[in-house]
Amino acid sequence: MAFPRPLLLAPLAMIAALAPFAAAQAEDPPQRVIALVVYGDDPCPTDVGSRDEIIVCARKPEAERYRIPKALRDKPEVAGGPGWASQVAAMDQAGQAITPNSCSPNGSYGFTGCTQAMLRQWHAEKRMRESAGIP
């Protein structure tokens, strides 16, 4: 049984037609990807410096050009934080380092404040335990 010649030539023609596509896929992919944000009607740069680059452009409206990015401008308000009383107490402690009754080796009467400092610390720890519900 003899095959018609067009049936033998069709697979060869398909192989010859697909050869350039196989060669294109065998090349290495680009090594560098550049991501740009363009605003308004600004053109996306199309002149590629080398064949190893891909340029990807994201388009944003012109009104967003000089704004702070949304991720940075929407910061949630911090709830709580130190109250004024604790800030005043911290300032008092900062200023007491060289005054009488300060429990400091610097300044006059430093040694007399050591017991008071211990008692202040003990009362502060006690208040913290009571506010946390720890006996």
Domain boundaries, the chain: 29-68, 84-132
Neighbours of 8 (CB within 10 A): 9
State residue 31's pLDDT score. 77
State residue 49's pLDDT score. 66
Q: What is the mean pLDDT of residues 77-102?
A: 74
Pairwise pLDDT comparison (63 vs 46), residue with the higher score: 63
State residue 3's pLDDT score. 52
Tell me how far apart the alpha carbons of residues 100 and 14 are, in angstroms, rounded to a whole number. Answer: 99
Q: What does the pLDDT look like over 13-40, one tens digit per residue?
A: 666 666 665 555 656 777 788 889 999 9
Say whether pLDDT at 47 is over 60. yes
* pTM score over 0.75: no
Pairwise pLDDT comparison (20 vs 89), residue with the higher score: 89
The helix/strand count (H/E) of the chain reads as 4, 2
DSSP state of 101: T
Closest by CA position to 117, among listed 87, 131, 91, 96: 96
Mapping DSSP to helix (H, G, I), strand (E, B) and coil, where does residue 76 land? coil
Q: What is the mean pLDDT of residues 51-66?
A: 87
Residue with tokens 């910061």: 75
**Beta carbons of 96 and 73 less than 8 angstroms apart:** no
Of all residues in the chain, the percent with pLDDT exceeding 70 is 59
Pairwise pLDDT comparison (58 vs 16), residue with the higher score: 58
